[in-house]
Structure 1
Amino acid sequence: MSRPKSLRSGFTLVELLVVIAIIGVLVGLLLPAVQAAREAARRMSCSNNFKQIGLGVHNYHSAFNQLPKQKSGTGLSMGAGNWWDGSSVTSQSQLSWLVGLTPFIEQQALWEQIANPNGFELVGGAKQTRTPPWNAMGPKPETTTYIPAMTEVPSFRCPSDPGRGLPSMGRTNYAACLGDSFSKAESGPVNAQLVVNSGDAEWSRAGQRGAFVVHTKMAFRDILDGLSNTIIAGEMNTDLGDRDITTTAAYNKNDPSTGVKAKPSVCQTDGSVDPLRPRFWASTTPTFAVDRGADTGRGYRWMSGEHMYTGMMTILPPNSTLCYQGDWVGQEGIVPPSSRHQGGCHVLMGDGAIKFVTDSIESGSLTTKMVEYGNVAPNPVPGAQSPYGLWGSLGTRASKETIEEEL
């Protein structure tokens, strides 16, 4: 018997619901894979940016026979007492290593704005004529009306990091490696008036063991452990204003016997970290962002040579706590590298290679005092191998330690 023409075949309600349910399950299964693919692409782009910086460092070295200096620029302005004084006349020798790299990473136009007198400024977010113009190399890099300092350079940003906008200035996700000790990491061999003297130089030689030493000319010839065995830069997160342990610092850990210099892991073990949310500071922990201003976040000033903004150390492993001895970003503290990637971060080796270092890298004893002038045994004396294992040895340039593992 034939079916009447008025009756048409179709899906029942149950069949439609089953199909929709299957589609929902497939979407639920595929969405994490799509998100993972997107992060993989961002991570590759981040690595490529870092590779470009590495090539820029090598081209800079070929041109000037030295690495770009961390904390360089014009010296103290007339009548200035100390380098930490603000100045609209000079940069107070506080420019970061990234400033000198700009013409070597296809940012010649930005370099021209910095290296020459600049007749424009930002007022209320608008570009206006400035009279008189900024001097060549600009003001101290904390000046928010100086347009280059507020400029975001794409090559200095990791696409995985979502940080944007105020209260930061121009952000960066890449930091110079200062080694396995913060002793003299703030000033290097100079005093408050930027004058090299024997005492400061002796302390700096003992404690500053990384590829970069602030206020100091450094070159590949200084990296005696081998370029392929030495980290010269690392990634870092920028602050999102969320009390993240990697982007704002706990401070005043200055006790001689239990403070951060004597025990680098103190901020991880003294209750400063929220036990229920171990990637964030406890609500009662004093941090720079709360007590010293929201503009003190990690990576917030690409032009500044302060290690909070453009430095990293191989003391604590990647994605560990920012932990300061003093109570201001212009003092000494531990600044580990960090990233928004899963499980670790990128580092730039001296030969230009980009490596991914995991959070679990062997890092020795994190309760051992860092190398410093004046240490006596059993504390590590100047010239000793790094107390922070493979991780520490990768950050030192001339400790004559053998690297036996492939990263």
Structure 2
Amino acid sequence: MKIPNAHTDSPATPTPSAESTRFTLRRKPEGFTLVELLVVIAIIGVLVGLLLPAVQAAREAARRMSCSNNLKQLGLSIHNYHSAYKQLPMHGGGTWADGAAVGSNRTNRMDLSIWVGLTPFFEQQAIWEQISNPLNGTWPAMGPETDEKTYEPWTTEIAALRCPSDPGTGLPSFGRTNYAACLGDSSVYMHMGPLGIVNFADDVSEYTVTLDANLSPHAEEARAACRGAFVAHKSTAFRDVLDGLSNTIFAGEIATDLGDNDIRTIASAEHGHDHGHGHAEEIHEEPDLCVHEGYIDDTRPSFWNAAAASTLANSDEGRGYRWASSATSFGGFNTILPPNRELCFGGTAMQDGMASTSSRHQGGVHVLMGDGAVKFLTDSIEAGDVHDANVHKGGVDHSAPGSKSPYGLWGSLGTRASRETISEEF
């Protein structure tokens, strides 16, 4: 009997049929199913949703740092200017021709912001040369009126004066600015200082501008009310800052207008009664007058409502629209209402009123102190009682000349020589 050999006598392997061959050659399709793709897309979407806020926050932090650096450079420019000229650049400086008609462009009517004089100190020598030494007789030295659209220096956008977080650009603005000078804690005479400027004509287009023959009353008013580091049409210096440079705000941020009726960037103006020098009594006595008038939208409190429409400033008078102008809407602010509050003026956007700081940063604004430090102040900074009247010559109690600021820490930081003791952290 033959014993089968496991190696040589294994059972014959069956020959596969054609059908089974076709079956074994089939392969599973490559790639993802629709369900798998949807799952992956959903996961990616969740990850993007989680990461996007962090990316946006990082970008805003970078923009905020850039804005802070701009102010630091401007602060250094102010110190270099003071070292060169032994005074601060004048807010409302420039040239004057008594009796010159508005629009004649014979002078700039002493309407230049502090940034004009500082241009050669923050790497804008070329613009300064165009302004101070015009090549032909078309324009006067130091430029024409700041609303002259055909004058190139006034319409030039200067990067050092722009905050990267502010998207504003284009007409009807000229060269925008996101930085303005601090004019103290009172709106009285803030746009005039010691000058008594009078307009003569029924038609605005035919105004001639002259000075009051008796400047003494105006100087007295300004001496009592104009308490900031900068005073319109008047020279100041570090020696005038008796409260200390580290305790006094010199400049700060302003958000430029985007044409959206933002309460911070377009003024509700034409309030009060003109007493011959833009003295809007109601606003000086009640800083939050526009709130009492019901002009702020209850459902969107960052914007004016329909009732305020007829009171709003002209579209070309938005906040920060002219870097070269010292007019209130363009080049100055006061420390009365806290940061990012409404603009409420008592005449026009060129005159006095409640004009606080503002920014596109979340929760506060940058300010430049007199010692060159840049600080970020929150909207909730202690600001006293906003129902107190502004300090002025005829004021009583908290509003009397020489009083400490009625507007708390915020107001105290805006004054140069009120001798307030600042103990709070800010």
| TM-score, normalising length: structure 1 | 0.91
Deviations 1:299-318 (A, max 9, x none): 01111111110101100000
Give 1:264's aligned residue: 287
Separation in 2, partners of 1:58, 1:349: 11
Of residues 369, 375, 379, the one that matches 2:389 is 369
Greater Cα offset, 31-40 or 99-108: 31-40
Give 1:227's aligned residue: 245
Give 1:382's aligned residue: 401
Separation in 2, partners of 1:403, 1:87: 47
Separation in 1, partners of 2:310, 2:341: 15
1:231–1:394 contact (8 Å) kept in structure 2: yes
Gaps of 5+ in 1: 120-131
1:186–1:306 contact (8 Å) kept in structure 2: yes
Separation in 1, partners of 2:124, 2:270: 39
Residues 1:102 and 2:106 aligned together: no
Of residues 61, 67, 71, the one that matches 2:92 is 71
Aligned pair count?
Answer: 386
CA pair 88-269 structure 1, distance change in 2 beyond 3 A: same
* Aligned-residue offset at 1:334: 1.1
AA matched with 1:365? D
1:149–1:170 contact (8 Å) kept in structure 2: yes
Give 1:303's aligned residue: 324
Deviations 1:144-184 (A, max 9, x none): 11110000100011111111010011110000000000111
Separation in 2, partners of 1:403, 1:86: 46
Give 1:125's aligned residue: none
2:338–2:356 contact (8 Å) kept in structure 1: yes
Give 1:237's aligned residue: 255
1:251–1:286 contact (8 Å) kept in structure 2: no
Deviations 1:246-297 (A, max 9, x none): 01111233279982211111212331101010000001204665xx521010
Give 1:151's aligned residue: 156
Of residues 327, 340, 344, the one that matches 1:323 is 344
Separation in 2, partners of 1:305, 1:198: 23
Separation in 2, partners of 1:355, 1:194: 39
* Aligned-residue offset at 1:353: 0.4
Of residues 159, 162, 167, the one that matches 2:167 is 162
Residues 1:33 and 2:38 aligned together: no
1:239–1:299 contact (8 Å) kept in structure 2: yes
Residues 1:50 and 2:71 aligned together: yes
Deviations 1:293-346 (A, max 9, x none): 2101010111111111010110000000000112x1232211100000000100
AA matched with 2:268? A
Deviations 1:98-119 (A, max 9, x none): 1001000000000000001244
Gaps of 5+ in 2: 1-22, 198-209, 274-278
* SS in structure 1 at match of 2:138: strand
Separation in 2, partners of 1:190, 1:164: 34
Give 1:126's aligned residue: none
CA pair 246-76 structure 1, distance change in 2 beyond 3 A: same
Separation in 1, partners of 2:134, 2:39: 70
Greater Cα offset, 349-358 or 193-202: 193-202
Give 1:393's aligned residue: 412
1:71–1:97 contact (8 Å) kept in structure 2: yes
AA matched with 1:115? S
Give 1:403's aligned residue: 422
AA matched with 1:277? R
* Aligned-residue offset at 1:235: 0.2
* SS in structure 1 at match of 2:118: helix
Separation in 2, partners of 1:314, 1:75: 29
Separation in 2, partners of 1:310, 1:48: 19
* Aligned-residue offset at 1:190: 1.1
CA RMSD of aligned residues (A): 1.9
